[in-house]
Amino acid sequence: MSSLRSRERTQANEAVEVFSKLEGEIREVVSRGATAPRTQQGNDNGLAASNIGSMLQHVSGTSVQEIEKLIAELQILRDMLQKEAARVQREIVGYAALTQNSSRSMGTISEILSSWRDDRADIPRISA
């Protein structure tokens, strides 16, 4: 479980780095657009939009892949936990049956010892 948490932290840190990089690139594109001459602004806007679009696709594609990977890992963990729960339930049923059998055996042994004690009480004792 701790390895899953450390992996989640690593992935979260990577996502923060990617988003920080994206934010920096967007700021750079915007600042270039603000300082560009008016005649090229229409051309730069199209270029900036395509750059931002490709960056967003890259970031969102990576994020979607990471989410799908996490979902797959969680499904594997869910299956493992369900199997483990079924195993524990089988063990509990086995222990319950063992406890019942032990209880019955103790009752039988107790009855036998009582009958031996009663039989022994009927035997006359010889005193010396």
Cα separation, 102 vs 104, in Å, equals: 5
Q: What is the pLDDT of residues 71-106, one digit of tens each?
A: 999 999 999 999 999 999 999 999 999 999 999 999
Q: What is the pLDDT of residue 76?
A: 95
Q: What is the pLDDT of residues 22-64, one digit of tens each?
A: 677 777 776 766 555 554 455 666 666 677 777 777 767 777 7
> Per-residue DSSP letters for 18-54?
HHHHHHHHHHHHHHHHHHS-HHHHHHHHHHHHHHHHH
In the chain, domain spans:
2-122
Question: Residue 126 has what DSSP assignment?
Answer: P
Pick the more confident residue, 124 or 71. Answer: 71
Pick the more confident residue, 17 or 67. Answer: 67
Cα separation, 7 vs 87, in Å, equals: 28
